[in-house]
Homo-oligomer: A and B are copies of this chain.
Amino acid sequence: MSRPRPFNFSAGPAVLPEPVLGQVAEEMLDWHGSGMSVMEMSHRGREFISIYEAAEATLRELLAVPREFRILFMQGGGLGENAVVPMNLARTGKVDVAVTGSWSRKSAAEARRYADVQIAAEAFSPTAQWRLREDADYVHVCTNETIDGIEFQELPRIDTAPLVIDCSSHVLSRPINWSRVGCAFAGAQKNIGPAGLTLVFVREDLLDRALPICPSAFNYKVVAEHQSMFNTPPTFAIYVAGLVFQWIKNFSYAGKTGLAAIEQRNVEKATLLYAALDGSSLYENRVAAECRSRMNVPFYLKDERLNDAFLAGAREAQLLQLKGHKSVGGMRASIYNAMPLEGVQALISYLQDFEKRHG
């Protein structure tokens, strides 16, 4: 492309690193002299196995995933996992869920198909105040609420039962404290790659608790035993994800490299954007400072009659997909790993310019 690409603030599927897309295009008809597109490779052939193993190894290194955790490449997304997790882990039928926003509310509702669900919290709150059962099979937390713009800055420390985290919308944006986690899952379509791939990290001692009605293709133990190839995995999405992992590994910023560099840039992007919103009299973000998301920044125009003009002007300024989720209205800027600093700066310039004209 000769002209620069617009900045894409979609909440997911979302912006991907431009060099990754370029490499995918280049290798489309012939991956590494194999004479095949990655889409055309048998998942059991040596070419794809090498792609798969490299992706898994890079991911394990980036997130410092301990040896006792298995990494599974699955399908069905976060909403699929809302059923797959209890089918795999709700052995005695007791699940505690902290409801901190739209996603955890959906998780609680779906888990009720398989278990007695206790709501541990009705909103973001200190873990010490949660209602937890000593005999729960697990505690479910959504560590970044994409719609509400709420993020746990630190993982809750739960002593009653294994912690399951839905980290779909901030995975790989920061490290994970594995000592506090039993199982983590993430749809790929925000920070990882194409929609249709779901990553699951599961501690080995949790592999043997599935309900008899758990489908084989979604049974963590079966998937782990088959190196994610019990059924045909989403091969092309795994390939793209592997390139994204490599891009993060090679990323450098402010004297750092890899995940630390990505996190540093994410902190700076979010700090700049929240400061701009807080400093304005036209816009507002309504999330308490201690749980504001670095990834998803919902905001409102105080005069909502300006919404359409705001969005039209944004499109003209090459700032795409800023409309908020239909359930909460307003605007939302998702500033995932692949959003450059320049994208946030361009958004802030536009916010200020629009405020000057309409404030």
Interface residues of A (CB under 8 A from B): 1, 5-6, 8, 10-16, 18, 21-22, 24-26, 28-30, 35-37, 39-43, 45, 75-80, 82-84, 87, 110, 113-114, 187, 189, 193-197, 212-213, 215-218, 230-237, 240, 318, 320-321
Asked if A30 and B43 make an inter-chain contact with CB atoms under 8 angstroms apart, the answer reads no
Q: Looking at the complex, which one of B13, B43, B80, B189 makes contact with A195 (CB distance below 8 Å)?
A: B43
State the number of copies, please: 2
Q: How far is the CA of A203 from the CA of B200 in the complex (A)?
A: 34
* A75 with B75, Cβ < 8 A, contacts A21-B29, A194-B235, A320-B35 known: yes
Q: Looking at the complex, which one of B42, B76, B240 makes contact with A231 (CB distance below 8 Å)?
A: B76
Asked if A42 and B29 make an inter-chain contact with CB atoms under 8 angstroms apart, the answer reads no
CB-defined A-B contacts under 8 Å, sample of 10: A21-B39, A25-B25, A25-B26, A35-B320, A75-B196, A75-B234, A79-B216, A80-B215, A196-B197, A196-B234
Distance in Å from the Cβ of A97 to the closest Cβ of chain B? 16
Q: How far is the CA of A10 from the CA of B215 in the complex (A)?
A: 27
User: Which partner residue on chain B sits nearest A83 by CB separation?
Assistant: B215
Interface centre among A29, A43, A234 (most CB of B within 10 A): A234
Distance in Å from the Cβ of A2 to the closest Cβ of chain B? 10
Asked if B10 and A37 make an inter-chain contact with CB atoms under 8 angstroms apart, the answer reads no
Distance in Å from the Cβ of A226 to the closest Cβ of chain B? 10
Contacts of A13 in B (CB 8 A): 39-43, 232, 235
Interface centre among A5, A36, A39, A235 (most CB of B within 10 A): A39
Contacts of A194 in B (CB 8 A): 39, 234-237
Q: How far is the CA of A35 from the CA of B21 in the complex (A)?
A: 13
Contacts of A18 in B (CB 8 A): 29
Contacts of A43 in B (CB 8 A): 13, 195
Asked if B318 and A35 make an inter-chain contact with CB atoms under 8 angstroms apart, the answer reads yes
Contacts of A84 in B (CB 8 A): 215
* A235 with B193, Cβ < 8 A, contacts A24-B28, A113-B212 known: no
Q: How far is the CA of A80 from the CA of B217 in the complex (A)?
A: 5
Q: How far is the CA of A80 from the CA of B231 in the complex (A)?
A: 8
Contacts of A42 in B (CB 8 A): 10-13, 321
Contacts of A213 in B (CB 8 A): 113-114, 213
Distance in Å from the Cβ of A126 to the closest Cβ of chain B? 31
Asked if B28 and A28 make an inter-chain contact with CB atoms under 8 angstroms apart, the answer reads yes
Asked if A217 and B76 make an inter-chain contact with CB atoms under 8 angstroms apart, the answer reads yes
Asked if A36 and B8 make an inter-chain contact with CB atoms under 8 angstroms apart, the answer reads yes
**What would 18 more interface pairs be, CB under 8 Å, given A79-B231, A83-B217, A194-B234?**
A1-B30, A5-B35, A8-B35, A8-B36, A13-B42, A13-B232, A13-B235, A24-B28, A39-B193, A42-B321, A76-B215, A76-B217, A76-B231, A77-B231, A78-B231, A79-B232, A83-B215, A113-B212
